[in-house]
Amino acid sequence: MNAITSAPAERLVRVPLGKRAYDILIGPGLIARAGAEIAARLKGRKAAVITDENVAPIYLDALTASLQAAGIQSSSLVLPAGEKTKSFEHLMTVCDAVLTARIERNDAVIALGGGVIGDLSGFAAGIVRRGVRFVQVPTSLLSQVDSSVGGKTGINTHHGKNLVGVFHQPDLVLADTDVLNTLSQREFRAGYAEVAKYGLIDKPDFFAWLEANWQDVFSGGAARIEAIAASCQAKSDVVVADERENGPRALLNLGHTFGHALEAATAYDSRRLVHGEGVAIGMVLAHEFSSRLNLASPDDAKRVETHLKTVGLPTRMGDIPGALPPAEVLMDAIAQDKKVKSGQLTFILTRGIGQSFVADDVPSSEVLSFLREKHPQ
């Protein structure tokens, strides 16, 4: 990839899943066009908009006006912001709101928000009436490049993150890049961790491009749109090859096994750690663990850490505010991970930058020893 110097231009990424294929539109001003884009693709003329208390004051009126202009009748539900909203309690609230709005199978549930709202709303859309149409309008960088694409939905339980959910593909994703201008630097950095992840999985040229162009991605414009489009295309390719995560789609979890354990250890308290920050630390740990197993050079782990630290992300467990539980508790969280099969730990490890692979026979004793070594006690 080369440096991006042209003016911002809208991009379209197609997710070719046969009859369930859908478009991802990426560019400025898409919320104002949402009604027209949805009406052009869906037969239904009713929608239930699910959002949160942070996003609603900024974008809900614009989305509602766009739907009305396109002849789509809408209702809305505003939920508390934060990871703790991904719960059984709020799932029931969303389902009740969708049913109260008399949403039918050809109508749509619209998720207006970040990954929490998208995951929760998508789960409700997948189970109400055994499945209604679903539109993602992601408002964070993390959700635009990751959680809004691919159909994985779910909620958290006290056993761990995203352990209850369904696969339910959206019918349309509208990634309005203008909304990213209202994100805090912390939120944007957290989303950037998922962008970097795609390079670290199997696109070393993209990771090198990010190392050279990350400042332009942060400042906006064409480089930002290019990075989002490249990320969505990378995820689309993996989803099409393995929609239900029976094989190579697991690569998308690079850094997530460690990251999810750290999120659980902080009780999903966003003041201490948000998802993208957990992934950033997790990706460094995954590269360091790979080096420990003599799979990759320690120089690769250092390169990953250097880049993520340069953009302002945490890269060590010790960077998380407050005390962490012992390594044994973190290990218990890893053992509950969805990627455990027949009691065997499955990790995404690497042989170098852009050379990740699925390892499904990782000895728990090695993981525990590594966690003890890295724990900031």
Q: What is the pLDDT of residue 3?
A: 44
Task: Please pick, among 161, 168, 256, 303, the residue that the annotation labels catalytic.
Answer: 256
Task: Please pick, among 54, 156, 162, 253, the residue that the annotation labels catalytic.
Answer: 253
Amino acid at 176: D
Answer yes or no: 43 catalytic.
no
Q: Are 142 and 190 in contact (CB under 8 A)?
A: yes
CATH topology of domain 185-374: Dehydroquinate synthase-like, alpha domain (1.20.1090)
d(CA 22, CA 158): 34
Task: Please pick, among 245, 263, 288, 305, the residue that the annotation labels catalytic.
Answer: 245
> What is the Cα 289 distance to its own chain's centre?
23
Residue 204 class from Cβ within 10 Å (0-12 exposed, 13-18 middle, 19+ buried)?
middle
d(CA 300, CA 331): 25
Is the pTM value of this prediction over 0.85?
Answer: yes
What confidence tens digit (pLDDT) does each residue in 207-235 have?
A: 999 999 999 999 998 999 999 999 999 99
Token digits of residue 124? 């409700």
According to DSSP, the β-strands at 172-176 and 133-138 are parallel
Answer yes or no: 152 catalytic.
yes
Task: Please pick, among 203, 249, 338, 339, the residue that the annotation labels catalytic.
Answer: 249
Answer yes or no: 37 catalytic.
no
Answer yes or no: 130 catalytic.
yes
Residue ranges of domains in the chain: 11-182, 185-374
What confidence tens digit (pLDDT) does each residue in 164-173 have?
A: 999 999 999 9
CA proximity to 338, closest of 234, 243, 256, 220: 256
* Domain 11-182, classified CATH 3.40.50.1970, yes or no: yes
CA proximity to 59, closest of 10, 13, 117: 117
Q: What is the pLDDT of residue 6?
A: 46
According to DSSP, the β-strands at 46-52 and 11-15 are unpaired
Q: What is the pLDDT of residue 5?
A: 42
Q: What is the pLDDT of residue 341?
A: 60
- The whole-number mean pLDDT for each consecutive block of 10 residues of the chain, a chain of 377 residues, reads 55 95 96 97 96 98 98 98 94 98 97 97 98 98 95 91 94 97 95 98 97 95 94 95 86 94 92 95 98 96 98 97 95 75 80 95 91 92
Q: Are 370 and 315 in contact (CB under 8 A)?
A: no
Answer yes or no: 260 catalytic.
yes
Residue 228 class from Cβ within 10 Å (0-12 exposed, 13-18 middle, 19+ buried)?
buried
d(CA 168, CA 257): 22
Angle between helices 88-100 and 115-127 (to 10 degrees): 60
Answer yes or no: 307 catalytic.
no
The vertex-254 CA angle with 252 and 260, nearest 5°, equals 105
What confidence tens digit (pLDDT) does each residue in 72-121 have?
A: 999 999 999 988 999 999 999 999 999 999 999 999 999 999 999 999 99
CA distances from 328 to 231, 261, 345 (A): 35, 11, 15
Angle between helices 298-310 and 275-292 (to 10 degrees): 160
Task: Please pick, among 2, 19, 130, 158, the residue that the annotation labels catalytic.
Answer: 130
Q: What is the pLDDT of residue 2?
A: 47
**242 φ, ψ to 5°?**
-155, 75
Q: How much of the chain, in percent, has pLDDT values that exceed 90?
A: 84
Q: 3-class SS at 101? A: coil
Task: Please pick, among 168, 189, 260, 374, the residue that the annotation labels catalytic.
Answer: 260
Task: Please pick, among 194, 226, 288, 305, the residue that the annotation labels catalytic.
Answer: 194
Element (H, E) at 162: strand 160-164
Q: What is the pLDDT of residue 377?
A: 77
Task: Please pick, among 11, 90, 189, 235, the residue that the annotation labels catalytic.
Answer: 235
Answer yes or no: 245 catalytic.
yes
Residues paired with 160 in a beta bridge: 157
Answer yes or no: 158 catalytic.
no
